[in-house]
Chain A
């Protein structure tokens, strides 16, 4: 019987407005490959970051290798033998492979780096992971898959006891995945424990021994993988959460096409996508992060380039080459990164609202502050943005209020089509409800809403239809009567190997 190397007891982690992990208890056995699964936002990344010493848990305790484990920095994690290969690779790209591999303890002689020794040891490590590159070339010349292997080799050279891999195969081809699994199996046979996170449900069978499913920051269940069908796993991921009070309004008339997108292709490698939105309609867009939903919306809006596709607004073909074109044709984009791309944080609320249509508050190039105050105040009142005055800086606003300012700025412009990318991310429950009501009020006034979200329950409660993206493709479209969490999730995973496994 294997002993337990990592044990989490009732671990919790809160961020402002969200509980990321709640009462998480988990046991990982020495020498096993333990798979961590969950939807976007289920808490996987938070959990890894706790183990890696990047976040500090608010409650609970962690025991690693028989000792209480309370890392404050990533160095503490290295110290006890925990290595993390993050999804976003963090390499010193101008340095050589060898320097990257041995960066934390460069072999030295007389206070200088011993390059000969460094390259020799690096070559050994590279051989171990089967990566055939010279240790003295800069990392920037490697491909992503090779970089991934360098990261793994780096984890090897410190006698890691626990190796955590966050979506290591997201960018790899199937041949490279095979190679990676070979290495992981070799490591396992040497007694290294592996904590493995992936979106690709099918591949976890090739490597995993046990699986833990997270949902809404809580552990659903830990089970041995043997004898567990993919359908069972999906069921565990979806579960039976309590549905929010249904926000859907059936009194809103849906009629007449507002927007039609035909054969939109972002680049030569991505498939063409087509969809349409009608007046008064809220169209949900589901899919995993990286499935192309955000990217497609940005390309539609002209924020990123596209190579093909036609867009029709109210039946008329329009040419959208920049956000400027999109805005002129009545489109608007509420970006997923509200602070970074949606708001002017150090400027007043009023200026944030009027930026979309400055001609309405100016005459002959001169600003009309009274008109601006009046119009901005009207929207602040209408949207119930909580602020003592329109001159408050939006950087001081809560997430919900900031999102309302973003909506206000598009209302000010009079946009007909609202593309909302994760409009309720990081917003507390009460404010979420207000955003839902607001979007419904807009739909009722004849606008069309595209609602991109990782929260399935939210999509189910809000939308007329849900479009599902998987690997850049639209793999399905469900009308409201057919809404079903499990079905949507299966579709979202479809292009990631689910079909094959079934």
Chain B
């Protein structure tokens, strides 16, 4: 160990290269992967490198990015949230109902709807967390239940129909493209990511999320109550599902009980590709953003490549598993150069 530090301080060419390599592999592994995939498509696929195409990708990753950021909190504590897709559906219904309610004053309906979306999402998430902790149940089961409950609630509230006729200013904001390349909804997603990153990186709360995922019992025996933090993590995942519902309304301008089917799996895939460990304690929200980008870039690139919709899932599924396999090799590699 000390020899290693000695070497790197000595600054021989080999040692410096070793350090650069370690940094690339550890900190930027997934990002390098994304850059390689983008470069590959830029060179090989027609139209991929156009501004128009990137704009489309930015629009398409917004929802998954928002969902994945909340999902990161839950997975970091060692849990999983399968309910975000149908909670999103429920929230779009709640938001659309409020926006289209003619009894509300014009200026108030949109802010109220946004609050309604986020509040509903956070409430669903908090219920998930509370049930898990109260009866010590696996989150897989509890959120699977919530997946169905929220989906049913969305159908009941909407009378199983699509709600249209959202206020024009709201629709206009959703179509806005800042500076010609940055869609408004992408900026919302970036905002969510930045907030999430800040919380995990710089706050006491974030510190506890990592600590609980690493060793919950040690945190408890250090005089804390992991339960509250875990419930909060689920509430955050619900909150981001509500936020993703707002993004959905901005993008598609409808509230729908069948929105978001399968979104939870895309969000989980993004988090896992981003290097967050399913057993908790290790990962980052920036990784989840990159994971979401990789999924979308692959999907778009394959389409431009002429790979049919039927083949695409085969490639994407393979990439998800490959990413995790590479992750284990990354750990092994890091350990080998650290002990060398």
**Of A335, A358, A367, which contacts B221 at CB under 8 A?**
A335
Per the bound structure, the CA–CA distance linking A327 and B282 in Å amounts to 27
CB neighbours (8 Å) of B208 from chain A are 358
Q: Is B260 an interface residue (CB 8 A)?
A: no
Q: Does A355 contact B (CB under 8 A)?
A: yes
Nearest residue (CB) in A for B206 is A367
* Cβ–Cβ < 8 Å partners of B5 in chain A: 388
Least CB distance from A342 to B in Å reads: 6
Q: Which residues of B contact A413 (CB under 8 A)?
A: 223
When distances are taken between beta carbons in the complex, the residues of chain A under 8 Å from B220 are 303, 322-323
- B119 CB, min distance to chain A CBs, angstroms: 22
Interface size, B (range): 20 to 34
Beta-carbon contacts of B208-246 to A below 8 Å, as 1s and 0s?
101100110111111111000000000000000000000
Could you tell me the distance in whole angstroms from the C-beta of B218 to the nearest C-beta in chain A?
A: 6
B318 in contact (CB, < 8 A): no
Nearest A residue to B201 by beta-carbon distance? Answer: A367
Tell yes or no: B125 within 8 A of A by CB: no
CB distance from A141 to the nearest CB of B (A): 23
Given A323-B223, A341-B221, A388-B1, A346 contacting B214 (CB threshold 8 A) = yes
Choose from B206, B222, B281 the contact partner of A355 (Cβ within 8 Å): B222
Judge if B207 is at the interface, Cβ distance under 8 Å. yes
Does A328 belong to the interface (CB within 8 Å)? yes
Given contacts A323-B221, A324-B225, contact A344 B204 (CB under 8 A): no
CB <8 Å contact, A355 and B204: no
User: Could you give, for residues 355-377 of chain A, a 1 whenever the CB lies within 8 Å of some chain B CB and a 0 otherwise?
Assistant: 11010001001110000000000
* Beta-carbon contacts under 8 Å, A196-239 to B: none
Q: Is A143 among interface residues, defined by CB-CB distance under 8 A? A: no
* Centre residue among A333, A335, A344, A351 by max chain B CB count within 10 A: A344
User: Is A113 interfacial (CB-CB < 8 Å)?
Assistant: no
Residues of chain A within 8 A (CB-CB) of B214 are 344-347
The CA of A301 and the CA of B223, in the complex, are separated in Å by 10
Contacts of B206 in A (CB 8 A): 367
B225 is contacted by which of A322, A345, A367 (Cβ under 8 Å)?
A322
* A residues less than 8 Å from B17 (CB atoms): none
* Max chain A Cβ within 10 angstroms of own Cβ: one of B202, B218, B219: B218
Residue among B205, B221, B282 making CB contact with A333, cutoff 8 Å: B221
Q: Is there a chain B Cβ closer than 8 Å to A340's Cβ?
A: yes
**How far in angstroms is the closest Cβ of chain A from B197?**
14
Which A residues from 257 to 293 make CB contacts under 8 A with B? none
Interface residue? A326 (CB, 8 A): yes
**Bound Cα distance A327, B224 (Å):** 9
> Shortest CB–CB separation between residue B238 and chain A, in angstroms?
21
- Count A-B contacts at CB 8 Å: 78
Measured in the bound complex, the distance between the Cα atoms of B214 and A413 in whole Å is 21
Q: Which residues of B contact A303 (CB under 8 A)?
A: 220-221
In the complex, chain B residues whose CB is within 8 Å of the CB of A335 = 221
Report if A194 contacts B (CB, 8 A).
Answer: no
Name the interface residues of A166-197: CB closer than 8 Å to any CB of B: none
Q: What are the residues of chain B within 8 A of A347 when measuring CB–CB?
A: 210-211, 214, 281
Q: Return chain A residues, CB-CB under 8 Å to B221.
A: 301, 303, 323, 333, 335, 341-342
Task: Assess whether A473 is interfacial by the CB under 8 Å rule.
Answer: no
Answer whether residue B12 sits at the interface, using C-beta atoms and an 8 A cutoff. Answer: no
A358 engages B215 (CB within 8 Å): no
Cα-based distance from A327 to B5 in the complex (angstroms): 38
Interchain CB contact (< 8 A) of A366 among B2, B203, B215, B219: B203
Q: How far is the CA of A358 from the CA of B229 in the complex (A)?
A: 14
Contact present for B215 and A345 (CB under 8 Å): yes
**A356, closest chain B residue (CB):** B222
Q: A324, B223: Cβ atoms under 8 Å?
A: yes
Asked if residues B204 and A341 are in contact (CB atoms below 8 Å), the reply is no
Asked if residues B204 and A340 are in contact (CB atoms below 8 Å), the reply is no
A323 to B1, CA, bound (A): 36
Report the bound CA distance from A365 to B199 in whole Å: 10
Report the minimal beta-carbon distance from A116 to chain B, rounded to whole angstroms. Answer: 38
**Contacting residues, chain B, for A343 (C-beta < 8 A):** 215, 218
Kindly state the separation between the CA atoms of A326 and B224 in the bound complex, as whole angstroms. 10
Compute how far the CA of A366 lies from the CA of B219 in the bound complex, rounded to whole angstroms. Answer: 19
Across the A-B interface, the 9 shortest Cβ-Cβ residue pairs: A327-B223, A344-B214, A362-B204, A356-B222, A324-B223, A355-B222, A341-B217, A323-B221, A344-B215
Q: What is A's interface to B at a CB cutoff of 8 Å?
A: 301, 303, 322-324, 326-328, 333, 335, 340-347, 351, 355-356, 358, 362, 365-367, 388, 396, 409, 413
Pairs A–B under 8 Å by Cβ, sample size 30: A323-B221, A324-B223, A333-B221, A341-B218, A342-B221, A343-B215, A344-B211, A344-B215, A344-B219, A345-B214, A345-B215, A346-B281, A347-B210, A347-B211, A355-B207, A355-B224, A358-B204, A358-B207, A362-B203, A365-B203, A365-B205, A367-B202, A367-B203, A367-B206, A367-B207, A388-B2, A388-B5, A396-B1, A409-B222, A413-B223
Q: A340-B215, A347-B210, A362-B204 are in contact. List 16 more A-B contacts (CB 8 A).
A: A322-B225, A324-B225, A327-B223, A328-B223, A342-B221, A343-B215, A343-B218, A345-B215, A346-B214, A346-B282, A358-B204, A358-B207, A365-B203, A366-B202, A367-B206, A409-B222
